[in-house]
Structure 1
Amino acid sequence: MTNSVTKGQTMLGIQSIASYLPKGRVDNLEQADRFETDREFVEQKIGVTTLPRFEAEDSVVSASIAAFKSLCEKVSVDPADIECVVLCTQNPDNGGLPHNSALVHAELGLSEDCACFDIGLGCSGYVYGLSVVQAFMAANGMKKGLLFTCDPYSRILNPEDKNTCLLFGDAASVTLISDSPRYTLSSAKFSTKGAGSEALQKNSNLLEMNGRAVFNFALQDVPKQIKRVLESAELKMEDVDLFLLHQGSRFMLENTIKRAGIPAEKAPIKLAETGNTVSSSIPLLLEKELDSSPGTILMSGFGVGLSWATAIYTQVK
């Protein structure tokens, strides 16, 4: 099943992706020693050996600008053509006032005829964000927009909490949504379990996570949604070339992939040097995989909210 476009309506989708990882690094094995946690557990179960961390000069805006500069090295982008900027973050600069997309707009010198707004979603944010941007652009006759993701959880980590300090890394990404897409949306599902929100929350400005509750949520709800999206798109598991699941932890990913019946070779696990980068985890993966030009891609993001979203994108022939 391919994405249909109403006659006269511009086809919009993913044209290109770029990312930014800060220079700051935390040795996760040394952190394991500090927490008196077995190094093998950190490597095999969490799956993270080093974590990118914002340094003093880093910010959501500066990281987003750095990602945009990388994008311009891949594809020609005229700032004058950008009509929409959306930034997905839960930890914005200056507490979100002004909205960080406006600050990015200023740094890039974009036209005043450019819509800018932030959305506050976590690990499901990229999948949600793609649909939000594309729908907004389509409704308003726009042809080129940017979706940024940047959620520096290092700002809200409790340095004494090994459940979160060993897991989260900082990163940023930018996706060019345009009328010259390489991939377009085929089918998507979005879900929320607000009653389970205490599993991942901020308390006294610090992150609290119930790892067991998050693990059970991923194992029980995500595979069901993946199967529903495949059915909606009239596709079978073997019809999908690439499965990009949110990079929460190695153990959670391996079990979710197995429970969903996804062939392991089609679902990369690459968080050893990034950790869980929240809304940036899927675009970081997608950027690396686009060179192989997979025909059909299924993305699934899940986490804080509790929120989960799954979408299928197909290559434009």
Structure 2
Amino acid sequence: MSDEILKAIRNKKSAFYYWKAKGRPTDCLDPFLLENKITTQELRKICRLEVAQKRIQERNEIIEARSSNKTLFYKLINKQRGKLSRRIDELNVDNLYLNFLCGLGLGGKIGNINCCAPTCTDDVALLACNPLDIQTTVDIAVDFKAEIHLKILGNIARANKNSSEWRLAERQLQVKSLDSWFIDMKKICIKYNLENPLSLLYNEMSKGKWKKMTTTAVHKYWTTRINEEIMYYSSLKYISASSFKVGKVHPLTLANIANQRDINRIPIRINIATGTYILQTNRAAYNQNNFDPTCKLCD
């Protein structure tokens, strides 16, 4: 473990200690929570860089051993593959060595999208026929669990006051029981700035009004939180935060669904906007062979 990782771990532990000592605040603008998140991201970044450097070092050892030491070369290959490894791309049938799978590249791409892409562009490639399907993929991040809990509470609140469910809810909301599901409802209402569940229980409300109130509160909370946290993600710094609205298609993914060429441009636009598009300079930096870093359009 490198000194940088040890230093990042110490910073993370220190930030977590102060955040815990302050009562684990959940406010997005709280300085202790922000420091805890920043140190976590920094630790993960350093760990990923360490793993990448180790992988590059192992690859260089294999490349050098291939020409200088065959015994070491096969030893490193077997060590990398291990048992039942997903990297095995060869077959041995009756002492006949077959490596045609390596040349075919099966499973390497979905359409024109590489499966090794560091973003979710493979999902976009599969769902790019309809902008609404793409937005559905993005909306998975919304806390639907909270909406389900609020929907159940709404069903209980609209029930007859003589029913067992309504009377049980009234009792449990007045009793401080940590194991009660209704106590979790209190936390959810506080999180989304809703009224006390007991007040919601006594106030009769139609199904449509209840649904509008809870859905608006959940969407407002997550829209505000995501827009505030965008600044901490380097891949989102070029994407306008004002364009993000829960349930609405982002302008970046809008396309004419009747035009296949326009649909194929969506993953490229996303890669360019998030900074994950592989440029000619990137290919030259991570390629051991002689590779011209000059853009092909500039030749």
* TM-score, normalised via structure 1 length: 0.20
More strand by share: 1
Structure richer in helix, relative to its length = 2
TM-score, normalised via structure 2 length? 0.21
- Bigger Cα Rg: 2
